[in-house]
Structure 1
Amino acid sequence: MSSSTPSRPGRLVLATRNAHKVTELQAILTDAGLGLELVGADAYPDIPDVAETGVTFAENALLKARTLAEATGLPAVADDSGLCVDVLGGAPGIFSARWAGRHGDDKANLDLLLAQLSDIDAPHRAAHFACAAALALPDGTERVAEGQLRGTLRHTPSGTGGFGYDPVLQPDGDSRTCAELTPEEKNAISHRGRAFRALAGEVRELLG
Structure 2
Amino acid sequence: MKELLVATTNQGKVHELEKLLESVTNVQLRSLKDLPDLAVAEEDGATFEANAIAKALHYCRLSGLPTIADDSGLVVDALGGRPGVHSSRYAPSDAERIAKLLREMEGTDWPQRSARFICAAAFAVPNPEVHIHTLTTGILEGYIALEAKGTFGFGYDPIFYVEALGCHLAEVPPEIKNTLSHRAQAIAKLLPAVTEYFRMTL
| TM-score between the two structures when normalised by the length of structure 1 | 0.87
* CA–CA distance in structure 1, aligned partners of residues 32 and 6 of structure 2: 6
* CA–CA distance in structure 1, aligned partners of residues 88 and 19 of structure 2: 25
| Matched residue SS, 1:113 | helix
> Does the aligned pair in 2 maintain the 1:12–1:76 contact within 8 Å?
yes
Select which of 43, 49, 55 maps to 2:40.
49
* CA–CA distance in structure 2, aligned partners of residues 186 and 90 of structure 1: 23
> Does the aligned pair in 2 maintain the 1:22–1:38 contact within 8 Å?
no
Q: Which runs of 4+ in 1 moved over 6 A?
A: none
Q: Which amino acid aligns with 2:165?
A: D
- Mapped pair 1:109 → 2:97: yes
- Mapped pair 1:128 → 2:107: no
* CA–CA distance in structure 1, aligned partners of residues 16 and 105 of structure 2: 32
- Mapped pair 1:16 → 2:4: no
| TM-score between the two structures when normalised by the length of structure 2 | 0.89
Q: Which amino acid aligns with 2:55?
A: K
Aligned residue number for residue 191 of structure 2? 200
- Mapped pair 1:69 → 2:57: no
Q: Which amino acid aligns with 1:174?
A: L
- Mapped pair 1:30 → 2:36: no
Aligned residue number for residue 177 of structure 1? 168
* CA–CA distance in structure 2, aligned partners of residues 123 and 43 of structure 1: 44
Aligned residue number for residue 4 of structure 1? none
Seq. identity, %: 39
How many aligned residue pairs are there?
Answer: 196
Structure whose residues are more often strand by fraction: 2
CA 1:24–1:156: 2 relative to 1, 3 Å = closer
**RMSD between aligned alpha carbons?**
1.7
* CA–CA distance in structure 2, aligned partners of residues 28 and 163 of structure 1: 16
Q: Deviation of residue 27 (structure 1)?
A: 2.6
* CA–CA distance in structure 2, aligned partners of residues 117 and 20 of structure 1: 26
1:89-128 CA-to-partner distances (Å, cap 9, x unmatched) read 221101111223x3xx112211111111111111111111
CA 1:38–1:106: 2 relative to 1, 3 Å = same
* Alignment of structure 1 residues 140-179 onto 2, 5 Å: 140-142=130-132, 143-179=134-170
Aligned residue number for residue 59 of structure 1? 50
| Ranges in structure 2 where 5+ consecutive residues have no aligned partner | none
